Amino acid sequence: MDDTTRRVADLLQFMGQLLEIRGEDAFKIRAYYRAADQISRLAQPISGMSEADLLGIAGIGKHITRKIQEIIANGTFRELEEVRQGIPATLLELLNLEGVGPKTVSKLWQQMGIVTIEDLEKAARSHRLRALRGFGERKEQDILKSIEMYRQKGTRMNRLEADRIVARVASALKDAPFDTAGSYRRGVSTVGDIDITTTATAAVINPRLRAIADEIIDEGEKRTSFRCQGQRVDIRFTKPAEYGTMLLYLTGSKEFNIHLREIALSRGMKLNEYGIEERRGGVLRTFETEEAVFAFLGMTPVPPELRENRGEIERAFIHNLPPLIERADIQGDLHVHSDWSDGQMSLEELARRGEQAGYRYLLCSDHSATLGVAHGLSAERVKGQGKEIERINRTSSCTILTGIEVDIMADGNLGLPNTVLGDLDLVIASIHSGFKQERDVLTRRLLKAMENDHVDIIGHPTGRLLGERPPYDVDLGRVLDVAADTHTALEINASPYRLDLDDGPVRQARDRGIRLAIGTDAHDPAELTHMIYGVTIARRGWCGPADILNTRELRDLLGATT
DNA sequence: GCCGTTTTCGGCCCGACTGTTTTCAGTCG
């Protein structure tokens, strides 16, 4: 997203938060949040959009359009500046505390003069909070605990961590039937908490959960929340007859649920986690499966990965959802390292692992020599590796493709000469250094690499490491333009530590007909199994088999990239 | 503030759980 679009979304979000603290009408607040959300997922820069374009976006009307125009022209809007005058900026941070919402913040501020987390901590420690109406000893303790949690900053889990927690909870549930839901089920690249629904009863399950919980947050007949290995887990207990609507509700996303419920409402039906009822005193109709709910509403079932209210609901009503890629469509892995650079697998092992995975091919893409730490390959060693691969391929049903993950250096030149690159089956070009360069410099490095005829794929195009390093500052719009022009594929790096590109840009690339390549970037055998994470991101980006290079047969693949 | 196949006014997704309460407000998902 470009800076201006980002700023518009941020300021509308900010306005919503300020209005919350002021205790304004909840629907007005929601309107700002909704507008901010819509803008943050725009595929194009907002500054290029006309007034009519803006008004065409659901949830953006006359007033917010004017404010957007003001932000584009002046960097802010008058009403926001007026509202923020009266409210200390530090108050917003208090909203990050679990159990502390706008009403509480407002009360703390107006009745006790509390404006920072430090103020709040002091007041709670000296037992002054309990003087407020609606506060007691328990609440003081809870607030202190929330402050501690916030300072430890529980970050979102990557998929691998989430898988571990799910496995742990599954072991406690034993034979009880259950499904994961929430962002985990939708396949989001990082997961905030684990949502689970089960038809087993609370009476049976709650005691088992206590055995694996660090802490029980709250415990009930219908829902139990607890912390497991530092992460929050929510379990909903469901009757089998109501399982379909419960799973649908718990899977979300929130925006998907709201939109679907609005549509149900407009047809005189109320949809919740227990079923669907006629709005005027009808009986509750229940559904055992999600498919049954979708069928009743007249929709094609929406795969969980698509449930983000990005147009999939409308498409499901006209039975026109895109075909999505499946794990079984994958014919090979297009990014693997061997022990010729920093990987652990020999070339023989690569071939064997590829056969075991049922792959037709694997792209051996070791680092080029410029990347000192990775024992990268010189021009000479590239040749040597090629001979070795040729030998192994004679007896392997999984063809090892010769390749390289060549460095895009600080000046945009590549780490190996064209004469070397030209002899390889496929070339990935990636940035591994100079992350802090100016946006324009970084962007031009990528563009220059794409314009090289020998470069087939751009590896981990934004360079992010989830929870560790933000994406580098590139103009993704320009990258997509040039990728389309030069027929360069962009990678969906399937490593759970990267997932780069993520679903948003994948969708944009896919909509523009840009080809995508899924690679695990495996350095050891276990990492070859990460392919599923990449496939999931592709699905979230609305990709079908035809959008992904490595669904192709070998001959087709090489034909497409020469 | 947005929006319209009951509406240009009067709705806006819906429910669980907790703490501090004597019936509910606040928060969360």
pLDDT for res A326 = 98
Task: Return positions of chain B under 7 A from a protein CB.
Answer: 1-3, 5-7, 11-21, 25-29
Phi, psi dihedral angles at A333 (to 5 degrees): -105, 125
pLDDT for res A154 = 61
Phi, psi dihedral angles at A221 (to 5 degrees): -75, -30
Distance of alpha carbon A169 from the chain centroid? 23
Integer distance in angstroms from CA A255 to C1' B14? Answer: 13
Closest-approach nucleotide to residue A254, Cα vs C1'? B29
Distance of alpha carbon A104 from the chain centroid? 31
Integer distance in angstroms from CA A252 to C1' B8? Answer: 32
Integer distance in angstroms from CA A61 to C1' B12? Answer: 15
Q: Which residues, listed in sequence order, are joined to residue A347 by a DSSP beta bridge?
A: none
Closest-approach nucleotide to residue A15, Cα vs C1'? B1
pLDDT for res A373 = 56
Integer distance in angstroms from CA A135 to C1' B19? Answer: 8
Which residue's CA lies closest to nucleotide B18 at its C1' atom? A218
Closest-approach nucleotide to residue A55, Cα vs C1'? B2
pLDDT for res A155 = 72
Closest-approach nucleotide to residue A266, Cα vs C1'? B5
Residue-range domains of chain A with CATH = 3-153 (1.10.150.110), 157-237 (3.30.460.10), 242-317 (3.30.210.10), 327-560 (3.20.20.140)
Q: What is the largest CA-CA distance in chain A?
A: 81
Integer distance in angstroms from CA A443 to C1' B17? Answer: 49
Integer distance in angstroms from CA A268 to C1' B6? Answer: 10
Closest-approach nucleotide to residue A259, Cα vs C1'? B13
CB-based contacts of A466: which residues, under 8 Å, 6+ apart? A156, A158, A189, A190, A496, A497, A498, A499
Which residue's CA lies closest to nucleotide B28 at its C1' atom? A99
Closest-approach nucleotide to residue A225, Cα vs C1'? B17
Smallest CA-to-CA distance from A77 within A18, A22, A27 is with A18
Query: What's the mean pLDDT when you consider all of chain A?
Result: 92
Based on its alpha-carbon atoms, the radius of gyration of chain A, rounded to whole angstroms, reads 26
pLDDT for res A58 = 87
Integer distance in angstroms from CA A436 to C1' B11? Answer: 50
pLDDT for res A472 = 86
Taking the C-alpha atoms of residue A53 and residue A55, their distance in angstroms, rounded to an integer, is 6
Integer distance in angstroms from CA A393 to C1' B13? Answer: 58
Taking the C-alpha atoms of residue A5 and residue A44, their distance in angstroms, rounded to an integer, is 9
CB-based contacts of A282: which residues, under 8 Å, 6+ apart? none
Residue matched to tokens 């350095």:
A523
Give every residue of chain A whose pLDDT is below 50, as ranges: none
Q: A78-85 vs A3-22: helix axis angle to the nearest 10?
A: 40
Q: Is there a cis peptide before residue A501, judged by omega within 30 degrees of 0?
A: yes
Q: What is the pLDDT of residues A276-299, one digit of tens each?
A: 988 666 788 999 999 999 999 999
Taking the C-alpha atoms of residue A424 and residue A347, their distance in angstroms, rounded to an integer, is 16
Reading the block at residue A246, the tokens are 């419960």
Q: Where are the alpha helices (DSSP H) in A333-378?
A: 347-356
pLDDT for res A323 = 97
Closest-approach nucleotide to residue A220, Cα vs C1'? B17
Please state whether beta strands A231-237 and A194-198 pair in parallel, antiparallel, or not at all (unpaired): parallel
Which residue's CA lies closest to nucleotide B24 at its C1' atom? A134
Which residue's CA lies closest to nucleotide B11 at its C1' atom? A27
Integer distance in angstroms from CA A81 to C1' B1? Answer: 18
pLDDT for res A444 = 95
Reading the block at residue A18, the tokens are 């300020």
pTM: 0.86
Please state whether beta strands A399-407 and A361-364 pair in parallel, antiparallel, or not at all (unpaired): parallel
Q: What separation in angstroms does the CA of A159 have from each of A185, A190, A201, A441, A499?
A: 11, 6, 28, 32, 10
